[in-house]
Structure 1
Amino acid sequence: MSWDRTLLALFVVAAMLLRWFPAVGLAALLPAGLCGAAALAIHLTQRRRYALQSTGIAAERVEADVFAVLWMVVLVVAVAVLGILAIWVL
């Protein structure tokens, strides 16, 4: 369920960034597109991730998905930097 909340949060952030479009122009589209692409990637990989977790729970051996967590950290930092640049530069 946490990935569902992350997906929803990314769509909300993308929508909020699109509201900046009249004020900052095309600079708002890059972070919004990044959030949309990340939400789509989460949606497309969610079934595999849940299958792995349910198999791990059944076998009583679940390993953390470190790559997914690090990828989300990089995404959040990139969106924050792009948002700040869109406000300050333009």
Structure 2
Amino acid sequence: MHAPQDGPDRRLHADPGLQPERTTLAWNRTMLALVVAGLLLLRWVPRHGWAPLLLTLLTLVTALVIAAGQARRYRRSARGIEDGRIEADAVGVLGTTAAVAVLGALALVVVVALPVG
């Protein structure tokens, strides 16, 4: 096993292809999908007014919340490799699932229920 490096490039475990990196990539894809979905909502602004702007803002805030937890999740996973035990981030997954479900429902309300402007 390699000794940890000092500085900003210090790795918390010896194998850079292990679970923490794959999990980080998955969360990054989730953030990207939220940002793209939020930006796609902007096409409804001319038809539905301010409501799509609010939804876009909510998707961007959700992506920022995910980004804010990235370093913590990575460190916890890397330490779990060293300790031989990794616990799932159930709160993060359930929170993201709930946020996406609420955003989807709100988008449907905007498109279907709000009057066309």
Aligned residue for 1:51?
Answer: 75
- Cα distance between partner residues in 1 of 2:104 and 2:82: 38
Residue from 33, 40, 46 that aligns with 2:57: 33
Q: Map Cα deviations across residues 47-71 of structure 1 (whole Å, 9 max, x no partner).
A: 1111111111121100001100110
Would you say 1:63 and 2:98 are equivalent positions?
no
Larger radius of gyration: 2
Alignment coverage as a number of residue pairs: 90
For structure 1, the 5+ residue unaligned runs are none
Aligned residue for 1:74?
Answer: 98
- Cα distance between partner residues in 1 of 2:46 and 2:30: 27
Residue from 22, 32, 37 that aligns with 1:13: 37
- Cα distance between partner residues in 2 of 1:45 and 1:51: 10
TM-score, scaled relative to structure 1: 0.93
- Cα distance between partner residues in 2 of 1:30 and 1:72: 18
Deviation at 1:30, TM superposition (A): 2.1
- Cα distance between partner residues in 2 of 1:19 and 1:51: 38
- Cα distance between partner residues in 1 of 2:84 and 2:109: 46
Q: Displaced runs of 4+ in structure 1, greater than 2 A?
A: none
For structure 2, the 5+ residue unaligned runs are 1-24
TM-score, scaled relative to structure 2: 0.73
Question: Which one has a larger percent helix, Structure 1 or Structure 2?
Answer: 1
- RMSD between aligned alpha carbons? 0.9
Aligned residue for 2:4?
Answer: none
The one-letter code of the counterpart of 2:88 is A
